[in-house]
Structure 1
Amino acid sequence: MNSKISFQDVVKSFPLKDTEFTALDGVSLDIAEEEFVTVVGPSGCGKSTLLGMAAGLQEPTSGRVLVDGRQVTGPGPDRGVIFQQYALFPWLTVRQNVEFGLRLAGVPAAERHRRAGRAIALVGLDEFADALPKTLSGGMKQRCAIARAYAVDPQVLLMDEPFGALDALTRVQLQEQLLATWSRERRTVLFITHDVDEAVHLAGRVVVMAARPGRIHRVVDVDLPYPRTEEIRLSAEFRKIRNTVWTSVYHQEPAAPAA
């Protein structure tokens, strides 16, 4: 497998008052080009820390994170990052928000307009391109954030619980829209979630994390075809995989105490 993202024996520790907290301990994981991988696990297992290191927002204490064979040393336009919080500029329209990263990169106005328009169309916000964020629903704001990430043409999408704050119906709608966009664009996606059903529905593989210290507990292959229809979501095969992931998340043996 040609790895698009590679975590190589990654350890991440944080100093505390009288000791040190190990958020991740010896994590190794390879994600192939165009693969959609979800990461799920109990609170405190280091899911967001893992994504933050792939984004270049944090550095490993030891080990390496590689993208396209190059060590990650900071943020870059090859990686689009989408958080649970929309982080939109309230005084800018949808189009201006989507163009923001392109403007910072010095992309000429005509090209900015073209690329932003294409990204806005991908997420179905054409009719709201000139609207301010205050007029948008939560789901529409998140679609705007996704469009902004797509506009800079990243090869990797890093998504940290992007639908976590949304109501159940909007969440399902955005899952379907994200998969439809991924099917056309085929970016490599690392998607953090606390929702087991979401993890299984979206992914080709589900990485189950264990906590304290954060480590990979199990990797579950999701041998279900795309597109992931409602029929697949309600199938016996889906339930079987979902139950495997659920058991792996919520019935883990506690970590052995350090020697």
Structure 2
Amino acid sequence: MTPKIAVNGLKKVFPLGKEEFTALGGVDLDIADGEFVTLVGPSGCGKSTLMNIVAGLETPTAGSVLVDGQPVDGPSPERGVIFQQYALFPWLTVRKNVEFGLQVSGIPAAERRERAQHFIDLVGLTTHADQLPKALSGGMKQRTALARAYAVDPQLLLMDEPFGALDALTRVNLQDRLLRTWQEERRTILFVTHDVEEAVYLATRVVVMAARPGRIFEVINVDLPAARNEETRLSPEFAAIKNRVWRAVYHQPVGANTHDDADLALGAHHP
């Protein structure tokens, strides 16, 4: 069966003054249709660079990325992208923000409204649909971004630290909501995070990357029930997987180059 995402020999080199920085040094990774895969690893391991190349926002130096067997050669509505910044239009309501991509695609008004309402309801913003972003909390803004991404019917959802700027309680609530949405929609998700617990709680597989050069260090299956809750987080099975991921992330040899890939790849999307 053809994987949803096939990353083959992926290499990315950035110029750095008179030198070069190898953000990715040959990455191979297959992700099946409907999987929820999280990427974790130390700073400089190429997580954001890999995400940006899969999204079509960055071009590789060598190697390839295929989605459904087709090479990625630029952005596509088939690949929804959500960054840590909400990127909402401040002058549009929640509903109009969610409808925006549908409008650009020429979807008729009645169908736009119906599809937007479905995903607004799905992310729990029914009573806030006609509010402007300035009236929303950070968590609500990120839920709006999630609804907007889902509304255009992407086959693949790419998320780069989407909950990183949120407080702990909001973050946990959004993790639960994202999991419920994924269980209903079963879109393939590739999710970048620095948070080991978040990586384990959300994923079917955790991909741990190593730095300098960026590469796959270990892939860890998350053998937990698909329906997860607070009891899951407190279970010994969860603790065992989290400890394994933690050791893989934090017990790696440290290289000399300390540049973070997020500083080098698409600065417009990173603070």
Are 1:130 and 2:126 an aligned pair? no
| 1:106 CA drift (Å) | 1.3
Per the alignment, in what secondary structure is the counterpart of residue 85 of structure 2?
coil
Match of 1:235 in 2: 235
Residue deviations 1:171-205 (CA, integer Å, cap 9, x gap): 00000000000000000000000000000000010
Match of 1:80 in 2: 80
Q: Structure 2 CA distance, aligned partners of 1:181 and 1:251? A: 34
Opposite residue 71 of structure 2, the aligned amino acid is Q
Q: Structure 1 CA distance, aligned partners of 2:254 and 2:128? A: 49
Opposite residue 92 of structure 1, the aligned amino acid is L
Match of 1:167 in 2: 167
Match of 2:199 in 1: 199
Opposite residue 43 of structure 1, the aligned amino acid is S
Opposite residue 127 of structure 1, the aligned amino acid is T
Residue deviations 1:209-244 (CA, integer Å, cap 9, x gap): 111111111101111111012111101111010000
- Aligned-residue Cα RMSD (Å) equals 1.2
| 1:253 CA drift (Å) | 2.0
Match of 2:21 in 1: 21
| 1:2 CA drift (Å) | 3.4
State the identity as a percent: 69
Q: Structure 2 CA distance, aligned partners of 1:143 and 1:156? A: 17
Q: How does 1:1-259 map to 2 (within 5 A)?
A: 2-254=2-254
Opposite residue 240 of structure 2, the aligned amino acid is K
TM-score, with structure 2 as normaliser? 0.93
Q: Structure 2 CA distance, aligned partners of 1:255 and 1:66? A: 30
Residue deviations 1:10-41 (CA, integer Å, cap 9, x gap): 00011121111110010000000000000001
Q: Structure 2 CA distance, aligned partners of 1:255 and 1:172? A: 33
Per the alignment, in what secondary structure is the counterpart of residue 26 of structure 1?
strand
Per the alignment, in what secondary structure is the counterpart of residue 216 of structure 1?
strand
Per the alignment, in what secondary structure is the counterpart of residue 88 of structure 1?
coil
Per the alignment, in what secondary structure is the counterpart of residue 4 of structure 2?
strand
Per the alignment, in what secondary structure is the counterpart of residue 3 of structure 1?
coil
Residue deviations 1:116-170 (CA, integer Å, cap 9, x gap): 1111111010111100000000000000000000000011000000000000000
- In structure 1, stretches of 5+ residues that fail to align are none
| 1:256 CA drift (Å) | 9.9
Per the alignment, in what secondary structure is the counterpart of residue 141 of structure 2?
helix
